[in-house]
Amino acid sequence: MIFGPAIDVRPLFPRERQAMLDLLRTLGPAEWAMPTVCPGWDVRDVVAHVLGDYMRRLSGSRDGHSGAIFADDETLPAHLARTNEEFVRASRQLSPQLMIELLDHLGPRLDAVWAAQDLHAAADLNVSWAATDIDSPAWLDIGRDYTEFWAHQQQVRDAVSAPGATEPELMAPVLDVFARGLPHALRMHDRPEGATAHLEVLGPAGGRWGAVRQDARWRMARPVGEPTALVSMDQDTFWRLATRGITEQQARQRSTTTGDAELTTAITALLAVIA
């Protein structure tokens, strides 16, 4: 497998959700209407999107429901953008209190779905930002959902100027899962066997990840020795880059790089959402 060692984020879902619910219960009407980094969405809309994710995963992974039909010639990013927007628009009829209650009610049911999964079985949904030609393992699919919930919580916190949920226990697994996009970010760059690229993320939740060129493709590998290319950035920059909360150019301005310039440019284009 190219994705590196498995990570089990399942115990973290209740803690992440509780932090989100505790925050939402403190917000007043003006804060629910604050704009977020998501274009055209305020806090209420981001919360509705998270609720939609809960419902979609329960419907698909638990109930086997196939979901919305793709339009003719619709790509996956276009399909997700359309269906997400449709759900958010419809959810504007829901009160903040009802959305809080639904998240609180549905969350444990989604936790139970994840708990029943074999982490090393095939994923219900492939993680296309990690690979498009190899099926994803379930642990990566589950990890991807954890990163999405955490990132949307941070977008809400940013909008209402409420710091939090960045303690290493909650944030470090997010960065670890995001880093599994490293081989995919490097995929267009052929290099000799044994070439290596390292990503260093600084901060209490950070770490160092590596990719090696092996058997004509990039694979996650333990970062040892002097790499062919190295990118170093702080943890806040990395999660915002991976979710496009900042531009690639902004990420490069906040990073230090050494070695192969094409590879460092590719690393600072790493994307951990479907776009």
> Where does the pLDDT of residue 274 fall: very low under 50, low under 70, confident under 90, or very high at 90 and above?
confident
Residue 275 confidence (pLDDT): 59
pLDDT in tens, 166-209: 999 999 999 999 999 999 999 999 999 999 999 999 999 999 99
pLDDT in tens, 203-262: 999 999 999 999 999 999 999 999 999 999 999 999 999 999 999 999 999 999 999 999
Residue 92 confidence (pLDDT): 97
pTM over 0.85: yes
How do strand 256-259 and strand 229-234 relate by DSSP bridges? antiparallel
Closest to 22 (Cα-Cα) out of 107, 100, 91, 99:
100
The proportion of the chain whose per-residue pLDDT surpasses 90, expressed as a percent, equals 92
Identify residue 268 by its one-letter amino acid code.
Answer: T
